[in-house]
Structure 1
Amino acid sequence: MTGKTHLIGGIIACQAADIFLFQNEGQIGYYAAGLIGALIPDICHTHSKIGRRLPVLSKIVSTLFGHRTFTHSLLFLLLINLLFLYFFPEQEGLRLGFLIGMISHYILDALTVRGIRLLYPATFRFRLARFRTGGVIESILLGVLVLTICFLYIGFQ
């Protein structure tokens, strides 16, 4: 999926979790962390939104792991969670937003032809569908996600 789809997916995932799990307690930091979390798995891709912003780190991660492997895995999700718990133990909202954004990224990339290596280092690719990144189906999905954000905002205020 493209960066804009991941950003919208991160917002909607955080919004849904905020409404249904946290009873509208999410703060701006929670949503900002969700946006960053929705992009961070693509640090392994040098031409992604996050990869272009952090080119040296992106090149290192890409060289070490390749695209949609370690940074798209449960192992990476666990590592990020542990880093948050160790370095920012008081920032529960930021941690949850970041992780929810990452999970939305994983789900969206699992809809693509390439899928993700969710159980890295195992080589199995997890796929929910086989959409092309940047294709017509992604554009339709993006529109549906935007409408869903509006529905959730209006319906649960």
Structure 2
Amino acid sequence: YYSENFPKEEEKDNLDWNTIVMFDEVGSNDLKADNVRFKFEYNVSSIVNRLYIDNIRIGEAADLELTTTNTSRVGLSVYPNPTIEKSNVLFTLDKNSDIEIKLFNILGSEVTLLKYDGLISGPQSIEIDLSNIERGVYFVSVLTEGTVLETTKLIID
């Protein structure tokens, strides 16, 4: 948005903003790229700084949505988060299931796969060892029968 006078707070609701969300299924790497570059070009004929870039978010599609409704299907949470060496993955199963816990890096590459067979329905708490994982932002997915039940973000310090 550009104007001679930056809009007042009450005027911001009347502005036209473009929202673009690109996503892929976690782990499919359809949007994976080794190098990503965002270019913003601002051409002006005067000597002023009136370029405002706001609310650029990069992450999982669910994290980028503007809604506040809870779409959680299994109540997935990870604590402590951020963590250093270990975290507990908490979720609830509707029925007895074999599950997989997958850890993906920020590019969507699978880093770790853990399998647990014969879990009974109800609340689950599984401790995962992260001591061999590099620092960074990761995504933890809980799957059953090859279907992702839910994904959440994990930060390793």
Which TM class, normalised by the smaller chain length?
Answer: under 0.3
TM-score scaled by structure 2? 0.23
Q: Which has the higher strand share?
A: 2
Greater Rg over alpha carbons, structure: 2
The structure, 1 or 2, with the larger RCO (C-alpha pairs under 8 Å, 6+ apart) is 1
Q: Which has the higher helix share?
A: 1
TM-score scaled by structure 1? 0.23
